[in-house]
Structure 1
Amino acid sequence: MGGNKNWIPVRGAQGVHSRQAHADLPAGTYEREISKEGFFGPAAFLYHPNPPTGWSSFEGPLRPRAFDLNGLNEAAGSPWNAPKVLHNKSVEVRFWKLSGAMPDLARNADGDQLLFVHSGQGDLFCDYGRLRFEAGDYLYLPRGTIWRLAPEGQAAILMIEATNGHYTLPDRGLLGPHAIFDPSILKTPEMDEAFKDHQAESGEYPVRIKKRGEVSTVTFPFNPLDAVGWHGELAPVKLNVRDIRPVASARYHLPPSAHTTFLADRFVVCTFAPRPFETDPGAIKIPFFHNNDDFDEVLFYHAGDFFSRDNIDAGMMTFHPSGFTHGPHPKALKNMLVQTKEATDEYAVMIDTRDPLDVGDGAASVENHAYVDSWKAR
C-alpha cells in the first residue's frame, strides 16, 4: 500500500495534544489523523473541540455516499451483465445476483477476478477442477481461467476485478507469513467425481470472454473444462472470512491497512472480521477520524453488527471519496463511552483505491441520499 519515498522531513507539536496517536486524548477533544499512503506514510494528529464530521450541510460530488445493493433485484446469468457499482481504470466492482447455474462459461481476459460470496452456496467449476463455495468465501480466479458458478438456488456475489492487473498477498513483515491467515488454509480446486460428471455433459458450450470491456463468444462442441490434470503455482483458490484471524492490540486501535487481505496494482482489499475491543482505558476503541487523502474508501457490509455505522445493514455499501474527513457516526461515539461488548461482531469487505472511483448506474439506482446527514448530531 505504501512505498519508499523521500518525504519532506517535519517533526513538530503545538498546543494541547496527546503524547501518542489514538490514545489518552486530552479531555473534551476529538483526534483527527491526516496521513499519506494509506496510513503508511507521514501523519499528523490534530485535536478538536468538535467532531470533525459535525457538518450542518455537505453539497457536491465529494459527499459520502451509500448504496443498498439488496435493491439490485435483477438476476443475471452472465457476470458481465451484472450491474456495475464502482469503477476506475484499475478496478471494476459489480454486484451479481444469480437465480441458478450460469448457462454459459465465462473467462476474464482483462485481469484477475475476485468473487466474494455474500449469500448462497454451490459449486465453482473451472479449468482446474471443482471448488465448493458458501457465504463468506473469497474465490480468486487468475486472469484467463474458464469458469462457471452453479449455485443451489439464489446467490449474491460481490465481484472485484483487477482490471489489467493481478492479485497478490500482502507482506506481513514482522508478523511473519502465517499471521492473519496461514496460506495453507487456501483451498485449490479438486478434480473429483462431481467435476468429472460435469466434464461428461454433452452439448455445445459457449464461453463469454471479456476483453477491454467487450464480450466475445467462443463456442465449443464439447465441454472445454476437459483437463485431466494440472500442477504449478497458479490456480484459483478459496478463502473464507471465518478463517481470517485479525491482528489486534489492547492498547492501540489499528488502522484498516492492518486488515489487508489481497493486494492489487492500484488498490487493496481488506477484511474486517470479529476481533477483541481495545481494553486499555486510554485507547480509542472505534475507527478514528481521519483524512486518507491518497485513497478512495469503499466498504461492503456482509454480516453482523456494524458498530461504527448507524442504520447500515448487510448488503449495503458505503463510498467515501478521498478529500474530506470521515469517521464514526455520533451513535458510535456515544457507545464507545459505555462499551460493554468484549469484541466486534462484523464481517465487511473494504476496497481502497489509489485512483478516484466513478459510480456506476447500478449503484446510483439504489443510493441512500440521506447518508450524508447521518453524521449530524442527534
Structure 2
Amino acid sequence: MRYHSLGRIPAKRHVQYRDPDASAENGNAPLLVEEVMGFEGFSGNESILYHLFSPCRVKDVGDFTKIELEEWVPDTHVHRLTHTRGLEPSGDSVLGRRVLQYNHDVEIGMCVPEREADYFYRDGEGDEVIFVHEGSGAVETVFGTLEYRKHDYIVIPRGTTYRFRFDEPQRWLTFYTPGEIETPNRYRNRYGQLLEHAPFSQRDFHPPAELLTHRDRGEHVVKVRVRGGYQDYVVDYNPLDVVGWDGYVYPYTFNIADFEPKAGRLHQPPPAHQTFQGPNFVICSFCPRMLDWDPQAVVLPYHHSNVQSEEVMYYVEGDYAARKGVEIGSFTLHPSGLPHGPQPGTVEKTLGMTRTDELAVMCDTFRPLKLTTLSRDLDDPSYAYSWYEDPVRA
C-alpha cells in the first residue's frame, strides 16, 4: 500500500517525542512510546506508532484457548454446494467466525455475529480479509477509525489491535492467512504503484480517516491469536492510545463496486478478476460487466479441470448464469482433479447475452482444502449430480 500518516509524529524516527497534549511536569511532558510494526524482520513494509503507554504493559495474563477445527472427511470426492443462508446469528465479531474450508495457507468461513465483541482483538499470526456481504459500521483500530459498508473488503494486517462497532445486522465472508494479503504483483510497477491497466487505483483503497487517541484508564481485555489459539491479556489502559503514526502497514477497505471488470471479444479467464493474492491462493471479484461480443462467442466459462487448484465461489448477488439451483449466500467447491463447467442447458440459454449482473467472490487455492463438520452440516449432496441429464428426457 501507499504511504499514509495520521495524527502527530516527530520529524525524525527514533528520537525523543513527548505527548503534545499533556501538561509538563518538572519541565517535560511524558515521553511517548515508539513502536515499529514491520514485516519480514526489518526488511519489509512497516509503520511506526507513538503510544501513550508501552504496548508491552500487561496487568494480568488470562487463559489460552486452543482453536479446534473439526475436520470432515467425506466418503466421496465430488463437487460440493454449501448453503449458508440459514445460519443463525451466533457469537461475536471474532469468535462468531465459523470456518468451512481450510489448509495451511488460508481459512475460509462465515460470520453472522449476534453481538459486538466486548474485548479488543489482535491477530498475532496472520492477515485477515472480511468481505461484508451485509452490514455497515466501523472498525476502531490503533491506526484510527475505519468505516465500512456493504460489499467492502476489510483488510486487516497482523498485529493490528481493533474492535468492531455495528450499525446494523452483519453477514461476512471471512479469510485468514498466516501469509500476507497483497494486491497482485502483476498490477504493480517496481516502485509498488498500481499500474494503469490494473482493475483499480490507489484512490479506491481507503485507510482510516480519523485517529482518536484514547486516554482513559481502566481494565480492558485484549484477545490475541497466537500459536494456534487465543491468549487473553488484561491491560489497565485503553489500547487505542496512539497519538500518531506513519508508514505502509495499516488496515483499509476496498469496495467490490470499485473493481473495474475486464471484458473481451472472447471469454476472459478467472485471473482477469483477481483482486488480492496470498501464499498459494488468490481472491477474485466477479462483478456486473459486459460479456464477450464476438458473434460466435460462448459467454459462459468453458469446461476446465482444476488439476492443481481448488475453486471456492461465494455467491453475493445477481444471477450466476453458469449454475442452476445455487442461491445467494451459498458456496460451491470444485476440488482439484475434477473438471467442471456450465451445467446442461445453461450455455444455449445464454447465447447472445450482452452483460451479466453476477456478483461473487472466488478463492482459488493451489493446495487441497480440508472441510469442517460445519461444511458437512450445510452440504447439498445433490449438487454433484447437477451435470447429469436423464438420457430418456434428453
Tell me the TM-score normalised to structure 1 length: 0.78
CA distance in 1, matches of 2:148, 2:345: 36
Q: Are 1:115 and 2:134 matched, yes or no?
A: no
Q: 1:89 aligns with which of 104, 114, 126?
A: 104
- How far the C-alpha of 1:203 sits from its partner, in A, is 4.1
CA deviation map 1:290-322 (0-9, x unaligned): 012111110011111111111212111011111
Residue of structure 2 equivalent to 1:76? 91
Q: Are 1:375 and 2:387 matched, yes or no?
A: yes
Q: 1:265 aligns with which of 279, 283, 289?
A: 279
The 5-angstrom pairing of residues 120-269 of structure 1 reads: 120-162=135-177, 164-170=178-184, 171-172=186-187, 176-177=195-196, 179-192=198-211, 195=212, 199=214, 203-249=218-264, 251-269=265-283
- How far the C-alpha of 1:95 sits from its partner, in A, is 0.7
Q: CA contact under 8 A between 1:101 and 1:152: conserved in structure 2? A: no
CA distance in 1, matches of 2:217, 2:197: 44
Q: CA contact under 8 A between 1:273 and 1:347: conserved in structure 2? A: yes
The 5-angstrom pairing of residues 299-318 of structure 1 reads: 299-318=313-332
- The change in CA–CA distance for 1:202 and 1:329 in structure 2 (over 3 A counts) is farther
- How far the C-alpha of 1:81 sits from its partner, in A, is 4.3
Larger Rg: 2
Q: CA contact under 8 A between 2:306 and 2:335: conserved in structure 1? A: no
One-letter code of the match for 1:281? P
Residue of structure 1 equivalent to 2:310? 296
- How far the C-alpha of 1:200 sits from its partner, in A, is 5.8
Q: CA contact under 8 A between 1:69 and 1:363: conserved in structure 2? A: no
RMSD: 2.0
Q: CA contact under 8 A between 1:206 and 1:218: conserved in structure 2? A: yes
- How far the C-alpha of 1:334 sits from its partner, in A, is 2.6
Q: 1:335 aligns with which of 342, 349, 355?
A: 349
Q: 1:285 aligns with which of 299, 302, 306?
A: 299
| Structure 1 outlier segments of 4+, above 6 Å | none
- How far the C-alpha of 1:160 sits from its partner, in A, is 0.5
* Structure with greater strand percent: 2
CA deviation map 1:64-123 (0-9, x unaligned): 001111222141114244221110011011211122322111111121111111111111
- How far the C-alpha of 1:61 sits from its partner, in A, is 2.8
- How far the C-alpha of 1:180 sits from its partner, in A, is 0.6
Q: CA contact under 8 A between 1:252 and 1:278: conserved in structure 2? A: yes
Residue of structure 2 equivalent to 1:344? 356
Tell me how many residue pairs correspond in the alignment.
312
CA distance in 2, matches of 1:202, 1:347: 45
- The change in CA–CA distance for 1:121 and 1:173 in structure 2 (over 3 A counts) is closer
- How far the C-alpha of 1:201 sits from its partner, in A, is 6.3
Unaligned residue ranges in structure 2 (runs of 5+): 1-73
* Structure with greater helix percent: 1
Q: 1:365 aligns with which of 362, 377, 383?
A: 377
CA distance in 1, matches of 2:244, 2:103: 37
